[in-house]
Amino acid sequence: MPRDLHDLPKLRDSIPHLYVEHKVIEQEGKSIVAVDLQGRIPIPVASLTVLMLGPGCSITHAAIKALADNGCMAIWCGEGIGRFYAMGLGETRSSERLIHQARLWAETDLHMEVVRRMYTRRFTEKIPDHLTLQQIRGMEGIRVREAYREASKETGVEWNGRNYNKNNWNDSDPINRALSSANACLYGICHAAIVSLGYSPGLGFVHSGKQLSLVYDIADLYKAEMIVPLAFQTVAQYPDDIERTLRKACLEAFHKKNLLKRIPMDLAWIFDINNETVDENMENAGMLWDDENEDIPGGVNHGSS
């Protein structure tokens, strides 16, 4: 029997994510288990937001169904969550948030309101109403530059600017590789949250033209606070084991700072939407678009009696 969607744990109350590699994922009862030579490891899918499947994983059809039944998203990724390849569905069934996001994106005045709220979330002080978007971007550039400068001063790690070659990983210096690795972890969490909540990752407001534009928008809310300090500290303390140590530090920081609780609240504020109202409407049959009236109820026969 299908589960009541209201019984599923909300994103903010879930375990953020679990990364596995070189495992066989099978169904066990109403949940799943990861199997390797060392034994069987139960995976609590009912309270898990996203299961990240790395290299060497194979998963059964029954296990995928168990993930879907429990609203747990599956993501196929590269080693150490360094790449994002594909994903399955999360627990969202309503399109209300997506429609609201599309309306905000399509109407210029509303789009600008969202952009200003996104920038407001990044600053500790209020942004003056008279500033243009170009002036706000200038303020943001100064804020980011200061975050790098302060982290470099505190850790002693030399900083010569953000510079990396996406086609040649080893061309970058250690701090730029560290920042890229940490950003990849942050993008994965933001992507999972955005899709789980029913928004489109491709409809960005500050960023545009990419399938992950909204992911970059939301990730930018947290980079200066979480990613920049962690990257510089890791390079300073663990110069010979940067990427593995940094991934672990990111996961700990995301948990400590309640990132998966903050993302839904920040998105709701930025998009001026009531999350609880959407959650309450998830089980409705849906609406039918009408060219003369407001949307009309679905799930009923509209033929004449």
Task: Tell me: do 108 and 235 sit in the same domain.
Answer: yes
Q: What is the CATH number of the domain that holds 54?
A: 3.100.10.20
162: number of Cβ within 10 Å: 13
Is position 298 within any domain? no
**In terms of domains, do 53 and 102 share one?**
no
Q: Are both 124 and 238 inside the same structural domain?
A: yes
Q: Which residues contact 19 (CB under 8 A, 6 or more apart)?
A: 52, 54, 77, 80, 81
16 with 112, same domain?
no
Give the pair of three-digit tokens for residue 43.
């995976």
Task: Give burial (CB, 10 Å; 0-12/13-18/19+) of 179.
Answer: buried
- Domain for residue 292, yes or no? no
Q: Rg of the Cα trace of the chain?
A: 21
Same structural domain, 24 and 105: no
* Judgement on whether residues 100 and 59 belong to the same structural domain of the protein: no
Residue 233 lies in a domain: yes
For residue 299, being part of any structural domain is answered with no
Same domain (yes/no): 55, 103 = no
- Whole-angstrom CA distances from 134 to 36, 115, 206, 225, 227 are 54, 12, 12, 23, 25
Q: How many CB atoms lie within 10 A of CB 297?
A: 11
| 18 & 141 share domain | no
Q: Are residues 43 and 149 in the same domain?
A: no
Give ∠ CA 96-277-16 in degrees, rounded to 5: 80
Residue 72 lies in a domain: yes
Query: How many domains does the chain fold into?
Result: 2
Query: Model's pTM, two decimal places?
Result: 0.75
Is 144 inside any structural domain? yes
Containing structural domain, residue 141? 96-280
CA 260 and chain centroid, separation: 8
Residues 68 and 15 in one domain: yes
Pure H helices in the chain: 61-69, 96-106, 108-122, 133-155, 174-196, 213-219, 228-237, 242-256, 259-271, 275-280
Assigned domain for 234 exists = yes
Say which residues have a Cβ less than 8 Å from residue 180's Cβ, sequence separation at least 6.
164, 172
112 with 242, same domain?
yes
Q: Could you identify the residue written with the tokens 């940490």?
A: 182
CATH number, domain of 198, equals 1.20.120.920
Is 251 found in the same domain as 144?
A: yes
Q: What's at 232, amino acid-wise?
A: F
* pLDDT one digit per residue (tens) for the chain, 305 residues: 344 434 444 555 556 568 889 999 999 988 899 999 989 999 988 888 778 888 899 999 999 999 888 878 788 877 765 566 776 665 556 788 899 999 999 999 999 999 999 999 998 778 888 999 999 999 999 999 999 999 999 999 999 998 877 777 677 889 999 999 899 889 888 887 888 788 999 999 999 999 999 999 999 999 999 999 999 999 999 988 888 898 889 888 988 998 878 998 999 999 998 755 555 444 455 667 777 666 666 656 666 54
